[in-house]
Each structure stands twice: as C-alpha cells, then as structure tokens.
Amino acid sequence: MSQLTESAVRDLLRIVIVGHVDHGKSTLVGRLLHDTNSLPAGKVEEIRAMSERRGMPFEYAFLMDALQAERDQGITIDTSQIWFNSSKRNYVIIDAPGHKEFLKNMITGAAQSDAALLIIDAVEGVREQSRRHGYLLHLLGIRQVAVAINKMDLVDYSEARFQEISHEYRAYLTELGVTPTFILPVSAREGENIVTRSGRMSWYDGPSIVGALDCFVSEPLSSNLPLRLPVQDVYKFDERRIIAGRIESGRISVGDEILFSPSNKTAKVKSIEAWPSSQPVRTQAAAGYSVGITLDEQIFAERGDTISHVINAPIETDVFRARLFWLGHEPMTLGKMYKLKLNTTEAQVQLQKIEAVIDTGDLSSAAATRVERNQVAEVVLRARRMLALDAFNDKPATGRFVLVDEYDIAGGGIISMDGYADQRQLITKRSTNIVQVDQGVSDDERARMNGHRGGVIWFTGLSGAGKSTLSMELERRLFEKGYSVYVLDGDNIRFGLNANLGFSPEDRSENIRRVGEVAALFARAGMIALTAFISPYRSDRDRARAAMPERFHEVYVKADVQTCETRDPKGLYQKARRGEIKEFTGVSAPYEEPEAAELVIDTAAHSIEECMAQLIAYIEANFSLRAADRKPG
C-alpha cells in the first residue's frame, strides 16, 4: 500500500467572512481567489459574460453568489464555501450572508470556522450587523478575529478614516472582552493589501489579509481536556457489542475505567475496534476520532450517555443557565417546552426564566417575556431529568446545545453554571479515595480575576534554539497585555529549589520532574508558567504533562544543531566540541524530538518577531477568556 508523507497532505484552516450587508464580503473573497490564482479556468470570463447579460458591472461576488435569486438581487442569501491556498497552507473560505434576514445562514457558516475575517466598509463605518456578527462570533467560541476595513479606495486611503473606524470598533469589542488579533485597511476591489502589502498605504505597517490569515492557528487541541465521549449508538451487527461515538475531548485507552453519566455505571475499556482489521490494533484514541469500543462487562449503555473517566466527570444537573441566540420563526416564550439536543443527548426542557434580552448594538440588557427571532438572550432552562453537561468555558464541545421547536432547530446556546450546583454528589455514591481536595477558590474564579486561564507553556529544544530568548520576550509581551506570567528558567531554579541536583541523567530527570510540578502549581494558581529547559527526553516531558494534563502545552522550539552551534550564545557548543562538557545534548547526548507538540516554532526559518506573533496568537487563542465568561451587564 502506498503511503502519503505527512507533508503531502496540507493543513486546512476554515475562515468565515462576516460583516454588514454590502460591505464587500463576497468581493473580498473573489479578490482573494483571483489574486492567489485559485480560480478555475474560464470562471472570470463566464461571470463577465453573465454580468453583461444582466447589464450589471462585473462583480467578484458572483463567484460565491451562485443562486439565481442571489445574482438577481445582488445579495448573498446562503453561506457558501470555496478553497484557496497560501504558501503556508490550504484554506476554506466560508462566505456568510450579511443581511439580517439570513442570520441563521451566517451562523451556519461561522460555526464551522477556526477564525473569522470581519469586514467593515470604510465609507459607511460600523453598522448594525458589524456589531451583531462580532458578538455572535464570540458567542460561537471563535476567538481569532481579523477586522478588515474595506473600500479604502473610496476614502482616498485615508489613515485618519481608518483610525476612526478601528477605534470605534475596537471599543465595542473591548466591551465584550475581546481583543481583535488584527485590524487592517484593504481595498478588495483594487486588490490593495490582500495578498501583498499595499503600496498605497505606506502609513500602515501590519500584515496583508493573507499574512494575517497565515498567523492564525488551527482549532485549539481539546485532547488535553478531560475525556468526554458521548455515546452515539450501540451496534450489535456481529458477536461484538460496540459502543460508538466521537471523542469530544480528552483521550481514551484500552484498560481505562470509564464512567457513564448520568446513569453512573462504570466499566473497563476492553478494545478499540477498527476496520479494516488488518490495521494495527489501536490502544488509544484522542479528541476528534470517531471510535467504537467494547467493554469488559455488558452494562446497559445507550445513546445520550456521556463517557468520562471517573475523576473529572461531567456536571450533573437538571437546571442551567445559557446565553442563546434565537432563530425560530416563532418567538421563544416563557414556560414553553423545547427539545434540547446536546451532543447526542435529547431532552425536553422548559424556558424557566428570561434574565435579559441583549441589544448587540450597544450591549444593553432589557427584561422581556419572550425572545424574538435573531435576538440574543440570557436564560435559565430546566429539564425533566438529570443531564450530564459541562460549562462552555471549561469544555466548549460539551457545553453547548441547540433547541428544536416543532421540526426545526430554532436556537443555539452556551452553558454557564454560575449560581447553580453540580448535583452529582447528591445523587452518586462515590468512593472516598478518589475525591480531590477542593481549593477554596475555584479555577473559574481565578480565571475571571486574571482575564485568562492558568497553564503551562513548556518550551523544549536544543541549547541555542531560542527557548530562553523566546520565553523572556514572551513573558514581557504577555505581561504588558495584562497576563499573569512567569518564566521558570534553568538558572533561577538550579540556584534554589534544585541546588542539590547535578547533571547526571537521574538528576536531570529529577530537575525536570520538579520543574513540572512547580509549573503546575503556578498554573493552578492562575498564572501562565513559561518553562525554558532543553528537556531532551520524551518521558520527562510526559511526566511534566501529567502534573497539569488539562492545560499543558508543549512548544517545540525547532532549530537544527548547525544553526544552534552558529549562535552558541553561552559558548557551550565550543566547550562540548572540545570535550570540556560531557553528555551535551545534540553533540554527545540525544535530543528526542516531540512527537505531538501542541506548537512548533521554527526559529531557523522565522524571525523572532514572527515567532512572537505565532506564540501570542496561540496563547490568546488557548488561554484568553472569551466574552461569554462575563456576566451580562
């Protein structure tokens, strides 16, 4: 069987384009495709001919607006997708309609994306849908947002106008608790600042659209979160009884003891099944994989159960708070029953309370007895039975739901448990030796105080690869952005905590083990701990990960030995080559490259500035608190 190399299959990033109607979303997409040579042969001619038939000027928008009604009315009705490539990776562009009437189609498009490009017309400025879309992006959990101020050609590429709009929109986003990753001036029609930097706006020194997109990262890995595997179905096609489902977060291994919620039965994983059976036997699977498992005993399990490990189980409750958007033709009304769909669970829920309807224009809240189509609201929902769920801010994939009214999906929401208790302890008998000691202050409270979650950023790489340089610079930048952050570096640890350790392999492992534990304590205290150690052995790094499994991010600072040796900031390579240092990593001792680092920073290929942009984007995406964390004003 022929094998594809990993590099032959390129990464794909999904980008949604949103913004107010007529601000030029489809035109921008057309221009992106055209300028990156991604259009099929003859497509432009075909559209030119079609525009002439209609007596309309040529519009790139017609590439995406495929429906007759869209072309006749010159508006986008439904979301569409189209592919293009940059030199870095492949992209799917999701074009979402800007017209208020088609909000459900905008949400359909936006919810599938990793990042968003929000377009604002330089002439018209910030409008109703500019704000609403910005709000919804954050409600949907999309944290990477670039704002493009378009039609700069119509305002003579004026810096003042650009600053005026970006100031206004940034103020709106700041109120939501959001920092846009980029705000950039463009002219889609004229192709300015799309693929390459614009010559007409020398006052602007940021990236082009494509440059900005290339800085975004693929969706944050959820395999470090606790295990959640909602049961999708149970198959009995042959002698095997297979429990099927997709891992929404965490990892599952053969031999694991697993808990089914809310039924609260336990069993052990006997096998992870696969077809064709000639493939190597799987013993572990992580988030994103659709698996089929068998158990060591035949307990009753059914669709809607959530599999977790015994510790870090989901919340059990029959009441929860939600922030939701309503898309139904009929308004959502107090006291009415709806069908809730949360992963594979279905349950009847009642709208118990509408705490506020939020005006996405000025973010004010008002009391109401119903939620109209296209409105956003804070509500309390009550189910007829116990549900297993999570708070969206902790575990996005199992903390969101849709509501069905009659036959139609009529709304979607994200769960918050603020003020409501996890009822698991009340209904479950638990073995006492697995209950963790609770801190007086919760992770959530710390995160709210800091504006971000705590975690460990574990830099690993050769001596001279740039770990210290990057971590020190990153600490400075994050600190200036208001983060609670601290670098654990070889020297500051070895002078104190680890003063009794030498450089034998045993002592080096112990050094890393202690650093791992200390970093985890920093992280649990709510800070971002940056560690800069060569940490050449995989098993040491895995042990460090085990101290903080849910928010440990391994960053491989990559540079080959030759490059590092050329830099040799401390003269160590020279000494090692002369034999003055024994067992020097990369020269006379091994460096085990990470197999699955969360992030790879190639310092041989990129400038420090580029590496910083990548790191900061990554940290913001993974640690910064979303708008949804804030309680309604």
Partner 1 sequence: MNHLDQLENKSVYILREAFNRLDKIGMLWSLGKDSNVMIWLAKKAFLGHVPFPVIHVDTGKKFKEMYEFRDRYVKEWNLTLIRETCPPIEEMDQSLPAAARSAARKTAGLKKVLDKEKFNGLIAGIRRDEQATRAKERVFSPRGLEGQWDFRDQPPEFWDQYKTDYPPGTHLRIHPLLHWTELDIWQYSQRENIPIIPLYLSKGGKRYRSLGDEDITSPVASNAGTIEEIIEELKTTNISERSGRAMDHEAEDAFERLRADGYL
Contacts of 420 (CB under 8 A, 6+ apart): 317, 319, 320, 321
Select 276 or 496, whichever has its Cβ closest to partner 1: 276
User: Closest separation between CB of residue 103 and partner 1, Å?
Assistant: 9
Helix residue ranges per DSSP H, 149-249: 159-176, 209-215
Q: Which residue has the tokens 């050094």?
A: 511
- Shortest approach of partner 1 to residue 16 CB, angstroms? 11
Q: Is the CA virtual torsion 436, 437, 443, 444 positive or negative?
A: positive
In whole angstroms, how far apart are CA 511 and each of 455, 518, 551? 19, 11, 21
Q: How near is the Cβ of 609 to partner 1 at its closest, in Å?
A: 29
Rounded CA-CA distance 387/390 in Å is 10
Which residue has tokens 């609770």?
438
For partner 1, give the closer residue by CB, 217 or 613. 217
Q: Is 246 in the site for partner 1 (CB under 8 A)?
A: yes
Interface with partner 1, residue 280, by CB under 8 A: no
CB atoms within 10 A of CB 524: 18
Total interface residues for partner 1 by CB under 8 A = 72
The beta strand positions in 108-186, using DSSP E, are 115-121, 145-150, 182-185
Assess 595 for contact with partner 1 (CB under 8 A): no
Site for partner 1 in 38-67 (CB under 8 A): 39-43, 50, 53, 63-64, 66-67
Q: How far apart are alpha carbons 60 and 68 in whole angstroms?
A: 15
Q: Which residue has the tokens 């992963």?
A: 343
Task: State how far the Cα of 119 lies from the Cα of 150, in Å rounded to an integer.
Answer: 6
Specify whether 535 is catalytic.
yes
Told to check if 388 binds partner 1 by CB under 8 A, we report no
546 binds partner 1 (CB under 8 A): no
Should residue 300 be labelled a site residue for partner 1 when binding is judged by CB under 8 A? no
Nearest CB to partner 1, comparing residues 40 and 440: 40
Residue among 52, 83, 449, 503 that touches partner 1 (CB under 8 A): 83
Candidate residues 87, 156, 205, 275; the one interacting with partner 1 per rule CB under 8 A: 275
Count of other CB atoms within 10 angstroms of residue 74: 14
Under the criterion CB under 8 A, does residue 303 sit at the interface with partner 1? yes
> Which of 484, 535, 588, 607 does the annotation list as catalytic?
535
**What would the two tokens of residue 267 be?**
């069993």
Site for partner 1 in 101-160 (CB under 8 A): 104-105, 107-108, 110-112, 140
How near is the Cβ of 366 to partner 1 at its closest, in Å? 25
88 touching partner 1, by CB under 8 A? no
Residue 274 contacts partner 1 per CB under 8 A? yes
Q: CA-CA distance, 624 to 248, in Å (whole number)?
A: 21
Q: Is the peptide bond before 226 cis (omega within 30 degrees of 0)?
A: no
- Cα–Cα distance, 593 to 529 (Å, whole number): 21
| Least distance (Å) between residue 558 CB and partner 1 | 19
Q: How far apart are CA 598 and CA 611, in angstroms?
A: 15
Quote the least distance from Cβ 148 to partner 1, whole Å: 22
Contacting partner 1 within 395-434 (CB under 8 A): 400-402, 404, 406-409, 412
Decide whether 70 or 565 has the Cβ nearer to partner 1. 70
The footprint of partner 1 on residues 443-482 (CB under 8 A) is none
Does position 68 bind partner 1 by CB under 8 A?
Answer: yes
From 151-159, 271-279, 457-465, 559-567, span contacting partner 1 (CB under 8 A): 271-279
Q: DSSP 3-state assignment of 558?
A: strand
| Cα–Cα distance, 22 to 121 (Å, whole number) | 8
Binding-residue pattern over the window 324 to 363 for partner 1, x denoting contact by CB under 8 A: ---x-----------x-x----------------------
Known catalytic residues are 535
